Amino acid sequence: MCGIVGYVGNRNSQNILIEGLKKLEYRGYDSAGVAVFTKDGLQIKKSIGRLANLESKLDQSPLSGSIGIGHTRWATHGKPSDVNSHPHTDNSQKFSVVHNGIIENYVSLKEELIEKGHIFVSETDTEVISHLIASLYEGDIVKAVQKAVQRMRGAFALGVLTEYEPDKLVAVRLASPLIIGVGEGENFIGSDIPAILDYTRNVYILNDGEMAVLTKDAVELMTLEGNFISRELFHVDWDIVTAEKAGFDHFMLKEIHEQPKAYRDTMGARLDASGTKVVLDEVKMTKEQISSIRNVHIVACGTAYHAGLVGKSIIEKLVRIPVEVDVASEYRYRSPIITPETLVMVVSQSGETADTLAALREAKRNGARVVAITNVVGSSVAREADDVIVTWAGPEIAVASTKAYTSQLIAFYLFGLYLAQTLETQDEATITEIVTHLKELPEKVESILEQADSIKEWAEQVATHDNLFFIGRGLDFAVAQEGSLKLKEISYIHSEAYAAGELKHGTLALIEEGIPVIALAIQEDLFEKTVSNIKEVKARGAHVFGLHAAGETELKKSVDQVFEIPYTLPLLSPALSVVPLQLLSYYASLARGNDVDKPRNLAKSVTVE
């Protein structure tokens, strides 16, 4: 979710790059930098923090030249710092690269390049790209980039310059967005349309596996194999705010649709080359340390707490270690029993949640090892935990969390599988089966998103009510709690989630004629019992919306409306079943005329107790 801009033309590129980066600030970033061809060769300025820091450096020492690239970084590999900021270069300082995405095999490439004498100065995966291109350069930058891309695994959008061919800017897209802006006597690249809208409204939108070679007077499109492509220009008629949202009406809807990419990015390099095992290099625990774990505490707030509820089931099922889940604001005050054999897992999108930080510090004071799941590399949680699993969801702008939550689920699946592999609590065939289904989740989310209109119809019915209930059993109950929270926080409809089996113990008294009930009936081993509970609320007049898995045909006989999610292993189903509930909340809020991205009384990151 970083921002890329690039320019080649006749104007001073520095100013265009900075203005383009400003238009991409909504994507989130922790550092920024530019590279410009000047009369003294390729010159780079970069700085941690806001763009104002970079601008201050450039005010003191401007870069004058008509071709350049710029970048705002959201840290994945390596903490936020000046040296880890983009653009990156090779040792000769003749090649410069900006990069969005992840190079999954960067470690092996880096080791190979070090053996050849390359010296690395940053902690990033991106620096590998500039060294790799330099090592493959034989007088043609386009061919060198093509060869380098064939060596790299992962997701990337690239902007590449070399001092040896100072009239060219090379752009590449593979699973990370990139567009080309076409002007008169000047051309542009950008990771999003807003970066170039002040200068042109004519663009090429690169598809996966395509690249472009820009000079000031021409743009050549081609495949990564070098086959030329002919394509009509797209004329942008959106305003700048709409463009920032990539054509979506709200950031929340955009972020819901970004979940397949977030799943792929979070899995990324954490699956081995065979795609059947989990590799968590960032977890430094030895097998002996893992073997010494006697219990696990998962501590989080709000949506992250709901991810922890799923995490509990994952770890207990795969590893057979007892797990407790606590709301962070309550954790310290119940005097939890923490020993050196306790593993404490803290979960926070921002990594700055005050209650979660306090819980982390309490755990460490009591001698526990702490593993953090967070979306922000340089956050307080990331710095203070012993091990960090970063979710590569990219920044979330909407207050209501969607892709951050589901990326946390992916992190829990990976960690649970990693523990099971290490302790051999599951056989190889079982782990391979789960990983195989895990890799299929992004495509299955995409198929759910294609059916958004069906959920919109549900939401418009729900929006006319002031009270609503979610029910489910097992993992379905964990997801029901997240669905209920999402609906409350942006639609302001009073909503509660109940374990379906508990209805007879009091809450059935709340069911009255016409009240909506969202029933999750996805867990195979609990399906019949859930249907019995559904019939109980139906008998008392509830209007029931049911979610079931593909292949199941009985639920529709017991509910008023159904929505089918693609089949996956029951353990993995929360990563799918929550998506229609996110859409339900979004469309219900929309139908009630609310500010979807900024619900009343709420903030994105809670940094006070």
| pLDDT per position as a tens digit, 527-560 | 899 998 899 898 888 999 999 999 888 898 999 9
According to DSSP, the β-strands at 369-374 and 387-390 are parallel
* C-alpha span between 458 and 445 (Å, rounded): 19
Residue 9 pLDDT exceeds 70:
yes
Range of lowest pLDDT (186-195, 286-295, 305-314, 598-607): 598-607
Counting DSSP H helices and E strands in the chain, the numbers are 19, 25
- Neighbour tally for 122: CB within 10 Å: 17
Residue 512 pLDDT exceeds 50:
yes
Mean pLDDT to the nearest integer, 371-394: 89
User: Backbone phi, then psi, for 11, in 5-degree steps?
Assistant: -90, 170
* C-alpha span between 117 and 119 (Å, rounded): 6
Torsion sign across C-alpha atoms 102, 2, 253, 578? positive
Q: What is the dihedral of CA 472, 475, 477, 480, to 10 degrees?
A: -100
Considering the chain, what percentage of its residues have pLDDT values greater than 70? 97
In whole numbers, what is the pLDDT of the chain averaged over residues?
A: 93
* Cis upstream peptide for 570 (omega within 30°): no
* C-alpha span between 440 and 435 (Å, rounded): 9
* C-alpha span between 563 and 164 (Å, rounded): 57
Mean pLDDT to the nearest integer, 424-437: 96
Mean pLDDT to the nearest integer, 180-190: 97
DSSP assignment string, 148-161: HHHH--EEEEEEEE
Q: Provide the annotated active-site residues.
A: 2, 604
* C-alpha span between 478 and 489 (Å, rounded): 17
Strand partners, 324: 297
Banded pLDDT at 243 (limits 50, 70, 90): low
Residue 242 pLDDT exceeds 70:
no
pTM > 0.85: yes or no: no
pLDDT number for residue 435: 96
Q: C-alpha distances in angstroms, 598 versus 77, 194, 323, 409, 603? A: 30, 22, 34, 24, 8
pLDDT number for residue 608: 41
Banded pLDDT at 607 (limits 50, 70, 90): very low
Secondary structure element (H or E) that encloses residue 5, with its range: strand 3-8
Mean pLDDT to the nearest integer, 474-498: 96
Q: C-alpha distances in angstroms, 19 versus 14, 169, 177, 239, 240? A: 9, 19, 19, 16, 13
pLDDT digits (tens, 9 = 90+) for 151-160: 999 888 999 9
Residue 362 pLDDT exceeds 50:
yes
Range of lowest pLDDT (96-100, 268-272, 317-321, 424-428): 268-272
Name the residue among 104, 99, 88, 80 with its Cα closest to residue 1.
Answer: 99
Mean pLDDT to the nearest integer, 409-417: 98
Q: C-alpha distances in angstroms, 25 versus 21, 275, 325, 392, 489? A: 6, 35, 36, 18, 26
Residue 572 pLDDT exceeds 60:
yes
Mean pLDDT to the nearest integer, 397-416: 95
Q: Which has the higher per-residue pLDDT, 275 or 305? A: 305
* C-alpha span between 323 and 344 (Å, rounded): 10
Banded pLDDT at 510 (limits 50, 70, 90): confident
